[in-house]
Structure 1
């Protein structure tokens, strides 16, 4: 007796998932989907959020924190889509997620850097082939571990048009800095013990000395992961909002 009703509810759920959503405070409708693409001999799953409007759009590769492709990472993709970008949030952990720092530490340590970079370069190719994407206007944006992979993608991927790093580890080797073609936006916390301000300033100075374009901001009173409200003790709402507005302005200037 309950099966038809259950099937009907399932159908309604699927229909609701397929309908475009409008994020609060923004009039651009967003559609989302789970997609797969090839990375070498493997298959990568990703979360695709797109403006529900015709034509070609710039794109952003969203790179998750060490927690994995969780709801917060997907929310960032939807926020970019609401700003007019096709956003692809890549699952570097192949379906795994962490809810404790201990598990997150193990997942991040177990992620082969070469595989992660290959997945991200394949994401550039996937986006570039989409009819809805302007292939010459693809950026990356990452947080924490994902911020480090965002800048590494800029080192190894000349097709990248812009790079955003939110409190991620930064390269120091001169050869790596020289290889970066994309302009870089960085948001960091002054109290971040893992990514100390002196290292951020040294990176900024070295990039500028090499003739590279950087826009780096260090937020007083903020530590690591200050943009994520799930970081109960470390979340800084004002700094997080300012960092987001900086990202929006940066992408508008570089990709529009």
Structure 2
């Protein structure tokens, strides 16, 4: 049978599928995308505060098209917010510790897949998910490449003393939720606690500039630059 976008080579697994995995003894769910070759390095994609939306699934698909095995865990158990008030409530109802547990379970699942060729994973996240990228990387040494897009830190800054991942962050100069001036302190904390120099990059854009599903926020030029840098960074730092 000829290869199609939904039939990766070297595997019988569908290229795009919903999956269930164990997370600290409880079932969790997510969206898995495989590359056309059927195998590749693993990347966790972490949702915004809206939930596991079409945009996040599309990011996983885009990573798969570039040769990665991408898993987007569903941190809200199937729920998606329809307005900012609901999104805020759902984010606040997810304890950071529980979110990290779910994400570590996703790392377990991803690294156990026969299609994953790497011994470590990358983590890419947006807004709330960008913050969770840093929480996860600080906790789980199997994350070797951490890419927060305009990551929102909820509550206490993580303890980065156990961080093993290289860090590439993308932020908007006009992001009122994450003032650019605060990034120096975060960068300094990461380096002092872990010895790792985080690369935080600023773009002439506001919050959520990568989300092409939100035309009021999307910035095509900044998005393209950040995406290109992210792909190069993941390729270099996942092993």
- Work out whether the TM-score is over 0.5: yes
Change (3 A) 1:187 1:73: same
Please say if residues 21 and 106 of structure 2, whose CA atoms lie closer than 8 Å, have aligned partners that are also in contact. Answer: yes
Corresponding position of 1:44 = 28
Aligned-residue offset at 1:136: 1.4
Counterpart of 1:59 in structure 2 is 42
1:205 positional shift:
3.1
Residue 207 of structure 2 corresponds to residue 232 of structure 1 = no
Matches within 5 A, 1:1-256: 20-21=5-6, 31-54=15-38, 56-170=39-153, 176-210=159-193, 211-220=195-204, 222-255=205-238
**Cα pair 1:148 1:169 within 8 Å, conserved:** yes
The 1:36–1:177 alpha-carbon spacing in structure 2 relative to 1, beyond 3 Å, is: same
CA distance in 2, matches of 1:213, 1:136: 23
Greater Rg, structure 1 or structure 2? 1
Q: Deviations over 1:19-78 (max 9, x none)?
A: 5259xxxxxxx9111110011232111100011325x52100000000100100000000
Deviation at 1:254, TM superposition (A): 1.0
CA–CA distance in 2 between the matches of 1:136 and 1:123? 14
Q: Which runs of 4+ in 1 moved over 6 A?
A: 171-175
Gaps of at least 5 residues in structure 1 are 1-18, 23-29
| Inter-CA distance 68–255: structure 2 relative to 1 (3 Å threshold) | same
Cα offsets for 1:175-195 (capped at 9, x unmatched): 712221100010001111111
Q: Which runs of 5+ in 2 are unaligned?
A: 8-13
Q: Is the 8 A contact 2:187 2:197 kept in 1?
A: no
Question: Which deviates more, 140-149 or 97-106?
Answer: 97-106
Further displaced range: 139-148 or 30-39: 30-39
Q: TM-score, normalised by structure 1?
A: 0.83
SS at match of 2:236: helix
Q: CA deviation at 1:232?
A: 2.4
> What's the secondary structure of 1:33's corresponding residue?
strand
**Aligned pairs, number:** 230
Indicate the SS of the match to 2:187. helix
Q: Which structure exhibits the higher relative contact order, with contacts defined as CA atoms closer than 8 Å and separated by 6 or more residues? A: 2
Deviates more, 1:160-169 or 1:170-179: 170-179
Moved more, 61-70 or 170-179: 170-179
Secondary structure in structure 2 of the residue aligned to 1:98? coil
TM-score (norm 2): 0.89
Structure 1 residue 253: deviation in Å?
Answer: 1.2
Two-structure CA RMSD over aligned residues (Å)? 2.2
